[in-house]
Structures are given as C-alpha cells and as structure tokens.
Structure 1
Amino acid sequence: MQLLRYSSCILLALVVDIAQGAEWRGLVDVRAVDADSDRSFLDSGLGKLRYDSGSPLLSIGQAVLRGDADISDSFSASLELSADQQHRGVVDVREAFLSWNPLPSGAWKTRVKAGFFFPPTSVEIDYDSVGWVPRHTISSSAINSWIGEEVRTKGLEWSARRLGRYSDAPYDVGVLAAVFTGNDPTGTLLAWRGWSISDRIGGLNDTVKLADLPVYRRTGAIPRQWRDIHPYREIDGRLGYYAGANLNFGSVLELAALHYDNLGDPMVVKDWQYSWRTRFNHVSAVWRPRGEWELLAQAMRGDTLMGPNAVAVTFQSWYVLASHPLGSGTAAVRYDRFLTREHDILPSDPNNEDGDGLALAYDLALSDSLSLMTEALWVRSDRAARSLIATSPQQTDRSLTVSLRWRF
C-alpha cells in the first residue's frame, strides 16, 4: 500500500532524472469559441459545456508537453505535462509512469505499468499521441469527458495479449487487471454536477469547484463536504481495482469490456472530502467496414454511494460516432445519451438528470504538424438541482469551436 501511495512521486522523480535523454513531443491548441450556454461547470455552474456565454472568444484550449525515454531494452518512462487557462494550478501532471515490456517468448505479449495514467476506457482517443485528445472531434463524449476529469489510475496495471498469428487465429485476445489508490472522490462530480461534454482533462493536483448547492453548505445536510473537489485524493486507505478483456479481428473490429470498482468506504471523510464507493461496467466497439468508414460506440453503467445512503446515484451513458473522409479532411458526427437516478434519503438534494448531445466536426490537415478542426456542439439536459441556484432545470447549451492544433 505504501508503495502505491507514493508511486507517482517516485516515478515523477525518475522521469525527471532521465529527461535529458527523452524524446519530447508537444501539442498547442489555440481556439475560437462562440458559446450560448448557462454558467459552465468550470465556473461553479451546472452548464454542460466547458465554455459558456461569458467565455472569451479566443483562448488556449490546452498546451501539452510529453517526454518518453527508454531506460533499457524493456523499461521506459513517460511524463506528460499540461496547461490551459482554466486550470487553477495552470501547469499540472497529466500522466507519469514507468512501463516494463519484456520480450515475448511465445504467443503472449505482456506489459506492466506503474504510476499515474489513464485507464484503457476510450476508443475516441489515440493513446499513442500527445494529449489524450479525441481523434475526430474537439469535445469528448460524456463518458470520456468524465474519465478525463475524475478517473485516473495511480497504481499498477498488468496486461497481456495473445497474438493470433502464432496459432493461425484471425483475432488477438487480451486481458488486463490493475490495482490503484487515490481515486476515492470518484463519483462526486457525477452526483452533484452530472455529466458534461467537453475536452477538459484533470491533472494530478487539480481541483474542481462545485456549484453552491444547499446540501453541502455549513447549514446543509452534509456540512463536512467542501465544494472544492480533489479527484485523485486518497481518503480511506483502501485499494481499488479494475479488470477487463478485449478481442481484435485485425483493424476491422475491436471489442472491449472493463469492470471498475474503487472499493471506497463511503463512511470515511478526510480534509472535508468524503470517500465514495463508485463502480461501473464499460463496453466498447470499433468497426471499420469498407469504404473508409469508422464507427465507434461505448456504453457505461454504474453507481456511486456516499455516507449512510446520504447520496446514492446510478448513472449510465452511451454514444455512437461515425467518421469518414470528406474532401481534404475527415467529417464526424457523434450522438450522446446520458442520465443519473438518485436512490438516497435526501429529497432536498435532487440528483436526477436526463440529457443528450450532438456533435458535428470536420478536421482538415494543413500540414504534417498543423490541423484545423471545427465543431458544432448541442447538448440538451434536464436537471432539477438547477432550480436550487436560481436557474431553469431544462437547459440547451450550444457552442461553435474552431481549433488550430500544432503538433511538434
């Protein structure tokens, strides 16, 4: 437990120590945004978008610097730093980990990762690129928006893949398992803020400020909970885990499933932050039929609990995304559906939510390192808790974003 608790600090020190020999890559995203939305969740509101009607027209969406270094033939280290105008710490650590990739002696190829990194839950993201950004859109789906903000692995992950070519099978099969610490607040944002659709990604030391709801005011039903949420804090001293499997038929069809459980003790509170028991099941599929189409789908269903049934919420979301080359670029359309349902003892703290969203995007490569992406985003949602801060429960958020991305 002590090893896992301090793994991120140790690994960060190791990566910095070998930084001179690393290969450095980066991403700078400058964007123009026109948003018609209520106060953003990043400004203590209950809007669904990263930007709202008061956001500046021009901003830096994100700036990311990633270093990868080979320590030996089988060991490597990675560090990713990020910055944007909406992070309280400005610059933060997005990932920091060591990888062990032993040479395969047969059909099985294994890997062990240790540190602070994303769980393998997204088919929108190119994990080999810089920044954990979607490939075909600017915003992520509701599922991956939540993963990017509130779910991260701070621990150990083991994975193994059996390559089909060793047995003349038309598929590869993989399994994985992980133990982690530091994700006890996971579920807080889903319960009290709800789903969002954005490209905002949390860092190791990040904080998010909740809306000023009555339930966690000093005179509220849960006065020991502060509005400032630290998503990757360890509270109860327990380890969480996830386990999954995947099946790939070449590049044509990819299937995956994952079960996640942080095993949090919902009765423990520390430094004005409760531990939440959060678990979910997740499935995904990628299909690339003929004609250069790519179809993506993900679905998630889970529940979260805090206190003696003070907050108990089930949540679910799914999306489908289709993309195809169009002209000199690639066009994409994504539809999201999401909801939460409360099952607790505090009717004065409504956490039910229903919503859906539509994103239309076009990505144009200007050169090998420069691209221009445009996205129109529309999200409709109904959340009763908005009436507690004098806004309408039913809300439609819209934005038009143009993003100029430079990769170096």
Structure 2
Amino acid sequence: MVKIIVSTFALLSINTFAIEHEVKGVIDARLISVSDDSTSYLEGGYGKYNYSTDTQLSLSQLGLQYAVKWENNVALHVVANAYLDGVNDGVGLTEAFISYKSLPNQTGWRIKSKAGIFYPKISLENIATAWSTPYTLTSSSLNNWVGEELRHSGVQISLDKLGKFTKSSHNFSLDLALFQNNDTTGAMLSWHGWTIGNRQTLLHEKLVVQPFAARESTLSAQAANSDPFLELDNRWGAHLTSNWKYSNYLTVSGGIYDNNADASIVKSGQYTWDTNFEHLGIKYNFNKQLQFLMQYMTGSTFMQSPYGDKVVENDFNNGFILLRYLQDHNQYALRVEEFEVKDLDATVGDNNNEYGKSITLSYRYRLNKRSFFHTEYNWINSSRPARWYLKQDIDLIENQFQLAFRHYF
C-alpha cells in the first residue's frame, strides 16, 4: 500500500502542478514516574502504562505531519512518529494516504475520499497534530487501543451535508471504509487488556505478546510478537460511521466496525481474529470555557481452531467521560474511565477476564500559541487474573506522574 501511494505521488508530481505544501509537527518531552511495581504492556508485562516502574526522561513523541495539495483538490498526507525512552524506541510511519474533496454543490452536498493507510474515524480525543490529544498527556484506554491495533489499509468514501449552504445549523456526514491488514486485531486487547498511554504503533512494528500458560500448550503456535497490520485471509473488512454536528455546540458520532476475518487461520505464528464492535461519541461545548466529551465502545473478538472450535473468545466494553475547563492560559481536564474484558472460552491457561477503573487529572499552561507546560496524574485500579501466571497480584493499583513540555510547529 505504501508503494502504491508513493507511485501515485510521483505520477501526480509529474502531471499536476503542486500548489501548496504543509508541514506540521509536535515535540513532546517528559519526565515520568510510575510509582508501583509493574512492567509495561509494551515490554510484555501486565502493567497498564506504556512505562514501567521507574522515573525517567523520555522523548514521548516527535511527530511530523506532511501534506501536499494540488489544484484538483487531491492531497497526499504522510504522518511519521518517533519515540525515544530507552526501552521501546522507534521511528516510522503511522499514516500515509491520498485524499480527495469535491467542492460542495448549491445545497451543501459534497463527496470526500481517501486511499492508503489511515486511522479509523473513532477518536474524539486525538484531534491534534500526528494523532496527539490536546486534552491530556495520555489517551484514554479506548483510544489507546485504537492507536495500538487499529489502522485502515484501504479506501474510504464520505458524503457530507454542510448546513451553511441552506442556512441550517446542522451538518451531517456518512463514511464507509473498506480495509484489509487488520486480521490480528483483538490479540493484544485479549492478552494484555486495556491500557493507557500515548504510544502509537508504527506501521512496521510488532508487539510483544504477554506470557501465559496456554502459550506452552494450546496456543503454542502463537509467535512471541503480534503483527497488528497483517493480511492473512484476503478478505475485506468494513467500517461505517456517521456524524451529526449542531452549530458549534454539539457533535454526535457513531459507527460499526467488522474486520470480517476468517478466524480459523494461523500463518507464521499469527492468528486471525474475528473482531466486531460499535462505538458512540458525544462532544458538547457548554460555552467557550467548558467542554464535555464522552465515548463508549462495546464488541467481541475471537479466534478458532481449523475445526471451528473457539479457542479464545472475549467480549469487551469501555467508556469514559472527560471534562475540560479553559481559563486564560490555563487548561484543567478530568477523565474518568471504566473498562472490562469478559472471557467466554474454556481454554485452560488463558484467562483474559479483566475489570478496571481509571482517573486522570491533567493541567496545562500555555506559554504561547504553540508551546505548553503540561502535568498529569493517572490512577488505575484493575483486576486481571492473568497476572497470576507471573506470580503477581491479580488486583493492582498503579499510579503515574508526568511533567511535560510540548511544542507544536
């Protein structure tokens, strides 16, 4: 898919005059302290943060977002991210796609499309440069999973209705994405559960699979790492979303996701997972200072043997609410979350049950239009029986403190 995008870009560069280049970026440097005895899920542990127990300095994100736009309303978008923490360093692409946006007609209807590798239209948090969030230093557990295991490799067609052309305060959109390369979606959610952080999986990366007893028996074919952006069954998945916006006050979005995977395939240590979910989001501006944001997701994921037996089967639910208050140079944010995974299979040595709650308190001070000091406290109380496989406490309370400097350019 990346090769196709690059080839198309070269063709457009030869035949069409590029009229505008746009470069945006974000630098996020942090001091992080995780105060409890836990190992990060990124290192193969059952800790809920992307940092392990320690105090450390980190380049938490160096994001670069490039776009070139032509006169025919075609644009190329490339997003790259770098992370440097001494444990899980990485540099690479997170998105790369070509987009088209038609001019609205007299009644406000227009068509948009994109093709390539891009994020599904789910998050109401991660709306800033390079899929960062302006509200907090960490993404919610719901959107952290989106950043870890979800990416569309395919096409998306959108139909918009812009209200201003008919003097209406209502705007509507309907989006349909057809995608591949998400056959393993659900593996990490099952095997390490919900997590909180800001680490986006790079397109070339693989993820460490947690240790559990069934990996020595029933699930011994699973490789030590999961490849989140992989095609195994040559089938297309679909994601349908809709959005309604009323003036500058209210936004309501929702969608249905189905990766349409053949869950009986295993190749080179990678299983296919049949993953389906629905999601709902609401954003409401009480005034210019106070904003309310809510998202909810519910779904299921499973993989099975070649004989049709469900080896791993889980239902999952996640929801959060976020309040943000702006006062002069100050921003205050409170996020409360609840999440769970329900293990429905009978496989011995693979208990994926989980239940947890989280609270995030965040404060940001604006130095100027593009630079910010940001501090944050995260608290997670979770119960996960799989910790017993490593002789750890099933119930764990984890605390994280962060101090950051962010600069957008």
**TM-score, with normalisation over the residues of structure 2?**
0.93
1:161 CA displacement: 1.1
Contact 2:161 2:173 in 1 (8 A): yes
Cα distance change on mapping 1:30 and 1:88 into 2, 3 Å: closer
Of residues 218, 222, 244, the one that matches 1:221 is: 218
Equivalence for 2:344: 343
Cα distance change on mapping 1:15 and 1:204 into 2, 3 Å: farther
Equivalence for 1:67: 66
One-letter amino acid of the counterpart of residue 138, structure 1: L
Contact 2:19 2:70 in 1 (8 A): no
Whether 1:8 and 2:5 are equivalent positions in the alignment is: no
1:291 CA displacement: 5.7
Contact 2:19 2:69 in 1 (8 A): no
Whether 1:400 and 2:401 are equivalent positions in the alignment is: yes
What is the alpha-carbon distance in structure 2 between the residues aligned to residue 200 and residue 13 of structure 1? 29
> Which has the higher mean CA deviation after the structures are superposed, 83-92 or 102-111?
83-92
Equivalence for 1:85: 84
Equivalence for 2:122: 121
SS at structure 2 position matched to 1:57? strand
Of residues 280, 283, 298, the one that matches 1:283 is: 280
1:16 CA displacement: 7.7
> Structure 1, unaligned stretches of length 5 or more?
1-6
What is the alpha-carbon distance in structure 1 between the residues aligned to residue 190 and residue 99 of structure 2? 34
What is the alpha-carbon distance in structure 1 between the residues aligned to residue 92 and residue 8 of structure 2? 17
Contact 1:155 1:180 in 2 (8 A): yes
One-letter amino acid of the counterpart of residue 260, structure 1: Y
One-letter amino acid of the counterpart of residue 180, structure 2: T
What is the alpha-carbon distance in structure 2 between the residues aligned to residue 12 and residue 369 of structure 1? 31
Trace 1:90-169 onto structure 2 (pairs within 5 A): 90-106=90-106, 107-126=108-127, 129-169=128-168
One-letter amino acid of the counterpart of residue 300, structure 2: D
SS at structure 2 position matched to 1:216? helix
What is the alpha-carbon distance in structure 2 between the residues aligned to residue 202 and residue 314 of structure 1? 23
List per-residue Cα deviations over 1:264-290 (Å, max 9, x = no partner). Answer: 111011111000000100000001013
SS at structure 2 position matched to 1:22? strand
1:154 CA displacement: 0.7
1:394 CA displacement: 0.4
Equivalence for 1:354: 355
Trace 1:2-401 onto structure 2 (pairs within 5 A): 7-15=1-9, 22-37=21-36, 38-54=38-54, 56-85=55-84, 90-106=90-106, 107-126=108-127, 129-217=128-216, 220-290=217-287, 292-307=289-304, 308-401=309-402
1:21 CA displacement: 6.7
Contact 2:356 2:383 in 1 (8 A): yes
Contact 1:32 1:59 in 2 (8 A): yes
Contact 1:23 1:69 in 2 (8 A): yes
What is the alpha-carbon distance in structure 1 between the residues aligned to residue 40 and residue 257 of structure 2? 28
1:15 CA displacement: 4.8
SS at structure 2 position matched to 1:190? helix
1:65 CA displacement: 1.4
What is the alpha-carbon distance in structure 1 between the residues aligned to residue 175 and residue 202 of structure 2? 24
Cα distance change on mapping 1:20 and 1:96 into 2, 3 Å: farther
Contact 2:321 2:336 in 1 (8 A): yes
Cα distance change on mapping 1:16 and 1:214 into 2, 3 Å: farther
Answer 1 or 2: which has greater strand percent: 2
One-letter amino acid of the counterpart of residue 396, structure 1: I
Aligned residues: 397
SS at structure 1 position matched to 2:310? coil
What is the alpha-carbon distance in structure 2 between the residues aligned to residue 89 and residue 367 of structure 1? 30
Contact 1:89 1:206 in 2 (8 A): no
What is the alpha-carbon distance in structure 1 between the residues aligned to residue 399 and residue 40 of structure 2? 12
1:43 CA displacement: 1.1
1:8 CA displacement: 2.8
1:125 CA displacement: 1.9
> Which has the higher mean CA deviation after the structures are superposed, 344-353 or 138-147?
344-353
What is the alpha-carbon distance in structure 2 between the residues aligned to residue 226 and residue 275 of structure 1? 13
1:174 CA displacement: 1.1
Contact 2:359 2:380 in 1 (8 A): yes
SS at structure 1 position matched to 2:3? helix
Contact 2:316 2:342 in 1 (8 A): yes
One-letter amino acid of the counterpart of residue 169, structure 2: P
What is the alpha-carbon distance in structure 1 between the residues aligned to residue 286 and residue 367 of structure 2? 27
> Structure 2, unaligned stretches of length 5 or more?
none
SS at structure 2 position matched to 1:146? helix
SS at structure 2 position matched to 1:137? coil
What is the alpha-carbon distance in structure 2 between the residues aligned to residue 291 and residue 166 of structure 1? 25
What is the alpha-carbon distance in structure 2 between the residues aligned to residue 16 and residue 357 of structure 1? 47
What is the alpha-carbon distance in structure 1 between the residues aligned to residue 48 and residue 353 of structure 2? 15
Contact 1:15 1:79 in 2 (8 A): no
**TM-score, with normalisation over the residues of structure 1?**
0.93
What is the alpha-carbon distance in structure 2 between the residues aligned to residue 275 and residue 266 of structure 1? 5
